[in-house]
Structure 1
């Protein structure tokens, strides 16, 4: 089965990592979403790629200086399109509720948390607590570029499938040792410079492979033909129906 992950939700059609972007997935027949999680000063886990507000909201400043009450005044949608004015910066618990409602599967990327290990440790614990609200039957992968944090997550929550993320420049000969330490089931390599030989090597070692971020249909086809299991994409709506899930009482969106 070839898996499409809506990278930060349907991020070409709605502002990334918002409930609006994730809610569009079912309409377009996308079963899997990818999100990023980080933490506020009071321990609330939020869905955000950046540890600052500057790029994707109407505010500036660090997530680590905010508390939950501050979220009501943050607009995470008006930068993208007028249709999304007032779209909130979601909490992880709000996203889990949406995932349960829409019967989605979820890849949760734990951010490296530049506030230090104490906050990273709290992030791991609070992500685990929030995941208790995930319905049985929802599939889950937890991934991170921070392999120390990922190994700690796996130690505390061994029943969850985990994936080591690698940038192409950071994918050295020690990749298998890192996956072994993390007890990872997946490797998530960057698309740039990924070769068929590398894919074959990962497969031969017994790992599943999801590649990020693949927005070109021909490249996605090539990767699937090489044997990768899934791709993360910003443009899931453009992929043909063979990659999508038909839902009861729902039609796949236009290509």
Structure 2
């Protein structure tokens, strides 16, 4: 059985008046809204500007997305930085592992010019020289005007990440104000976050693909659950003991790996379903028709266009 959070315990002890107040808290409102549809800007509006940079997040925020999605890692000197890959080469002019560099060294890198090489047709802005962001900088810039969907990225490469992340969330009062979700493929990482602050809402990420031994059988990357076509209520219930939702892929190499039954089963066990990363409108429409609770996308403008039709 999941243990009570501190807020829940204090509320129960304080009586009905406190319970009513807690039911109207920003955190409770956030959890209630997870049952509605969420637009999640994957690394910001990363189809339009360099991923995980301030321009990408500013654009997504300007469009009014529900969540800014980001990957948290640690610099060599313990600063929480926003970067997806474990190594620097793909989206910067640096080399090597991100956790082997100090923040000063990371700040000296150009994390924008690569975008022009990858998208030569995008000439509306010059992103060369764009710096890597720290979590503090993102919070300082947007504050409580948006919500943040934060992945503990590669916890094995970033020892101490959970402690550093929770410290920053508490310092900026992001949890009580209903401003953050923490996601990970690594169940152990999520449980570390929960032990540090049981009020932080957690999302268990899943990745389904065909088994190497039998292509007709699906498996989950970390064996967090059985394959999506063999998952049971008990499997969802185990996740619901510590998480408030799941994030999953819907397609593997062009073939569906989840269906409406999976989505409904997850929801009936208290776990809204968010699907990553969906960039084409026809696929967005298909998944919305299946009943998903949200989509990660590099092109939040495309998703918002469908929602606002």
Question: What TM-score, normalized by structure 2, do the two folds share?
Answer: 0.72
Aligned length: 239
Look up the SS of the partner of 1:206 in the other structure. Answer: coil
Measure how far apart 1:138 and its partner are: 4.9
8 Å CA contact retained: 2:240, 2:270: no
Query: Cα RMSD over matched residues?
Result: 2.1
Look up the SS of the partner of 1:160 in the other structure. Answer: coil
Look up the SS of the partner of 2:130 in the other structure. Answer: coil
Note the 1:6-45 alignment, pairs <5 A: 6-45=41-80
- Provide the residue aligned with 2:23 in structure 1: none
- Provide the residue aligned with 1:249 in structure 2: none
Measure how far apart 1:83 and its partner are: 0.6
- Provide the residue aligned with 1:152 in structure 2: 192
Measure how far apart 1:26 and its partner are: 2.5
- Does residue 179 of the first structure (1) align with residue 217 of the second (2)? no
- Provide the residue aligned with 2:110 in structure 1: 75
- Provide the residue aligned with 1:127 in structure 2: 165
Distance in 1 (CA, whole Å) between partners of 2:195 and 2:101 is: 29
Q: 2:143 aligned to 94, 100, 109, which one?
A: 100
Higher relative contact order (CA 8 A, sep 6+): 1
8 Å CA contact retained: 2:236, 2:271: no
Measure how far apart 1:137 and its partner are: 3.8
Question: What TM-score, normalized by structure 1, do the two folds share?
Answer: 0.86
Deviation larger for 211-220 or 149-158: 211-220
Distance in 1 (CA, whole Å) between partners of 2:148 and 2:107 is: 25
- Provide the residue aligned with 2:299 in structure 1: 235
Look up the SS of the partner of 1:23 in the other structure. Answer: helix
- Provide the residue aligned with 1:163 in structure 2: 203
Deviation larger for 20-29 or 146-155: 20-29
8 Å CA contact retained: 2:274, 2:296: yes
Gaps of 5+ in 2: 1-35, 117-124, 210-219, 252-256
